Amino acid sequence: MQIQDLPYPDPGVPDARSGPRFLWWLGRNQLGGQVKSLAWGLLHFVAVSALPFCVGLSVQAVVDRSGTRLALTGGLLALCGIGIALGDTFLHRTAVTNWITAAARVQQLLARKAAVLGSALTRRVAAGEVVAVSTGDVEKIGWFVEAVSRFTAAALTVVVVCVALVLYQPALGVVVAVGLPVVALAVLPLLPPATRRADFQREKAGRATELASDTVAGLRVLRGIGGEDLFLERYRRASQEVRHAAVRSARMWSLIAAVQVLLPGVLMIVVVWYGVHLAQQGRITIGELVTVYSSVMVLSYPLQHFHEIAMAYSFSRPSAKRAARVLSLERATDTEGVRGADVPSGDLYDPATGLLAPAGRLTAVVCGDPDAAGLLAERLGGHPADQDTSVLLGGVPLDELPLDTARTAVLVQDKDPVLLSGSLRELLDVPASGNVSAQDALAAAQCEDVLEALAQASLDAEDPMDTRITERGRSLSGGQRQRLALARSLITDPEVLVLDEPTSAVDSHTEARIAQGVRGLREGRTTVVFTSSPLLLDHADRVVLVHEGQVVAVGVHRELVHDEPRYRAVVTRETEEEAVLSGVLKELEEIEETA
């Protein structure tokens, strides 16, 4: 896979049982790129490590006054230079390709998982953690995947050079062969505390990221209540904790780097001292001493990759663990489905609560607990909790349908819909039946003033549909965002449309017009609206009261307000004393009528 071929047609099914297993799966799926990187790495490192042998032969040729051998070693030096240049160039090219393709694979896997889980993702994993996984963690995982091949090439080069030195000059070669593994492995005892400090730093950084994300998302509300200074101080404290953790982690890594500089220096001193002693005894030549000394000096270059792979694994292991945790999450319903792809039609029925939404009718659901209403709306959309039974559409369980079919059949708009950045035309360019135009949907959602505001705010766009909308629609008011989201939902024209508090941020006059527009546009289609607004309830064909997880009353708005105290308490915000007084007055009226 080359960078130009991204994205992957299919990123595959990851092994998400643990972080190391996920890293192993990534490396196995990039075996071709790893082999290329290993081959170019071997060429580069071996060519670099061959330079001391060439230098030693050249020095000995000068000592022996042999012009032929000097010319030969000059040619070998030229070949080494060519090998170094080619190896370094293509090693860098293949390594970066491995890094980017691995990161792209992880990002595709995360995007696919987010699409499958939908709103259930942020209920199971904190939003800040999802952001951390899809940004910084992806980079660290890609770093380790590309560093593996370079480390393997460096390790093989060290082995080859040690063997070559033992064969070339056994007396000094044995010293190098024994000393280099000690130098390479000396930092292993320092890695566990360094890893713990790095994990602690990333944990603090994740919390700070989550706090910043939540603060930005609720900035409008915080400004309204004057709470931005409080949250700013919280972020300052979290940021300082990250800084202190990063300094402690950097100290440990600097100690590891210092050890890897100190020990090769000690080994070089030992080799020089022992080599000079052997040269004085006439057991080795000057050229052999120069060769061994230069080899030890040059081997510090591939030994640096031992430090790098330790850092890469230390940083990528918790990142891979977090990514594997997200990728291991499963949808409560079957993604593939056991039924055909035909979209069912008919009544929508929830066995858990007894809620029935007749086909082709506008059903309003009143629930005193907003959180319970949100969970019920998600269950109607095919996202039940693990212990819940599936919702039926036309007698067919939604969890037996393929995921794309279930989402085509039922669309749920939650109480806090998200508007992505882009033009209004792009915002409304969603998969749809084609039976509802953008103009009709905007009119039904009462977006005329929104279009006017967008036209006035844009200096370049002649058509309001081409006006840019900022991320999450932050340039719009809450009511404007809510109406544009409603228009987007109406355009899709699903078999069943579930709206959770679609008018909570608009005024009563606009709400009344929206109720008429939605009812007219959705005529003959199944619509379920979770609301406690009398203006919407009065336009519903059927009103259902859900209390403590069960349907307790069904009727029309005017009847339920008069006959059902629990319904009246939710819709009219009636207090307990007022409810008792209403009951007494109703009983008196009944006594008077009987008399």
Three-class HEC string of 287-338 = HHHHHHHHHHHHHHHHHHHHHHHHHHHHHHHHHHHHHHHHHCCCCCCCCCCC
Average pLDDT in the 293-311 region? 82
Write down the pLDDT at residue 440: 93
Does the pLDDT value for residue 520 go beyond 80?
A: yes
Under 8 Å between Cβ of 330 and 510: no
DSSP state of 466: G
**Coil, strand or helix: which one is 528?**
strand
d(CA 263, CA 179): 9
Q: Which residues contact 566 (CB under 8 A, 6 or more apart)?
A: 368, 545, 547, 552, 553
Would you state the pLDDT for residue 218? 63
308 and 205 belong to one structural domain: yes
Taking the C-alpha atoms of residue 366 and residue 382, their distance in angstroms, rounded to an integer, is 20
Share of the chain above pLDDT 70, in %: 88
Tell me what pLDDT residue 5 has: 79
Q: Is 31 found in the same domain as 88?
A: yes
Phi, psi of 545 (to 5 degrees): -100, 125
**Confidence band for 216, pLDDT divided at 50, 70 and 90:** low
Q: Decide if 22 is inside a domain.
A: yes
* pLDDT average, residue stretch 215-232: 65
Residue 371 tokens, joined: 């959180």
Q: Is the pLDDT of residue 386 over 60?
A: no
The answer on 397 and 454 residing in a single domain is yes
| Res 116: pLDDT | 77
Q: Are 147 and 308 spatial neighbours (Cβ–Cβ below 8 Å)?
A: yes
What confidence tens digit (pLDDT) does each residue in 390-414 have?
889 988 888 788 877 888 889 999 8
Q: How far apart are CA 205 and CA 202, in angstroms?
A: 5
- Look-up of token digits 């230069």: 294
- Least confident span in 56-60, 73-77, 474-478: 474-478
| Residue 469 in domain | yes
Alpha-carbon span 492 to 556, nearest angstrom: 28
Q: Report the CATH number at residue 506.
A: 3.40.50.300
The pLDDT, as a whole number, for residue 434 is 86
Among residues 282, 309, 327, the one where a domain terminates is: 327
The number of residues making up the chain comes to: 595
Rounded CA-CA distance 325/332 in Å is 16
Q: Are residues 480 and 443 in the same domain?
A: yes
For 237, other C-beta atoms within 10 Å of its C-beta total 11
Task: Establish if 582 belongs to a structural domain.
Answer: no
The reported pLDDT for the residue numbered 122 is 67
pLDDT at 206: 72
349 located within any domain: no
> What distance in Å separates the CA atoms of residue 33 and residue 30, rounded to the nearest whole number?
5
The Cα 364–Cα 537 span in angstroms is 6
* More confident site: 427 or 232: 427
Check residue 354 and give its pLDDT.
Answer: 92
The predicted-structure confidence for 320-359, as pLDDT tens digits, reads as follows 888 898 888 876 555 555 455 577 888 999 998 999 999 9
The domain containing residue 172 runs over which residues? 12-327
Least confident residue range of 218-232, 426-440, 487-501 = 218-232
Residue 397 in 3-state DSSP? strand
- Residue 373's CB is within 10 A of a number of other CB atoms, namely 20
pLDDT band at 310 (very low <50, low <70, confident <90, very high): confident
* Percent of the chain with pLDDT strictly greater than 90: 28
Report the alpha-carbon distance of residue 549 to residue 567 in Å, rounded.
14
Residue 499: pLDDT above 90? yes
Distances (CA, A) of 548 to 106, 247, 376, 551, 555: 42, 52, 12, 8, 18
Same domain, residue pair 323 and 440: no
Indicate whether 333 belongs to any domain: no
Res. 587: pLDDT tops 70: no
Using one digit for the tens of pLDDT, what is the confidence trace for 61-86?
888 888 888 899 889 989 999 999 99
- Lookup: tokens for 485: 């989201």
- Planar angle of CA 392, 394, 400, nearest 5 degrees: 50
Cα distance between residue 557 and residue 571, in whole Å = 10
Kindly state whether residues 376 and 318 are assigned to the same domain.
no
In this structure, are 162 and 17 located in the same domain? yes
The 10s digit of each residue's pLDDT in 521-564 is: 999 999 999 999 998 999 999 999 999 889 999 999 999 988 88
State residue 50's pLDDT score.
86
- Are 367 and 320 in the same domain? no
Mean pLDDT of the chain: 84
67 domain residue, yes or no? yes
Task: Report how far residue 481's alpha carbon sits from residue 425's, in angstroms, rounded to the nearest whole number.
Answer: 15
In whole angstroms, give the CA distance from residue 487 to residue 444.
7
Same domain, 53 and 195: yes
Residue 215 has pLDDT above 90, yes or no: no
452-462: pLDDT as tens digits:
887 777 666 67
- The bridge status of strand 348-350 relative to strand 355-357 is antiparallel
Q: Are residues 19 and 73 located together in one domain of the fold?
A: yes
The pair of three-digit structure tokens given for residue 213, joined into one six-digit string: 């994300």
Domain tally, the chain: 2
Angle at 260 between CA 255 and CA 261, to 5 degrees: 95
Residue 220 banded pLDDT, cuts 50, 70, 90: low
Q: Do residues 473 and 419 touch, judged by C-beta distance below 8 A?
A: yes
Q: Residue 432: is its pLDDT beyond 90?
A: no
DSSP helix/strand/coil, 421: coil
570 within some domain: no
Residues 236 and 372 in one domain: no
- Regarding whether 295 and 233 lie in a shared domain, the answer is yes
What the block records as the tokens of 554 is 């069904």
Specify the pLDDT at position 591. 64
* Domain annotation covers residue 573: no
CATH of the domain at 24: 1.20.1560.10
Burial of residue 280, with CB atoms counted within 10 A of its CB: 0-12 exposed, 13-18 middle, 19 or more buried? exposed
Q: Which residue has the higher pLDDT, 516 or 584?
A: 516
The pLDDT of residue 36 is above 90: yes
Distance CA 595, CA 577 (A): 27
The whole-number average pLDDT for the span 32-42 is: 93
Which tokens go with 567? 């319904």
Residue type, 130: V
What DSSP string runs through 204-254?
A: HHHHHHHHHHHHHHTHHHHHHHT-HHHHHHHHHHHHHHHHHHHHHHHHHHH
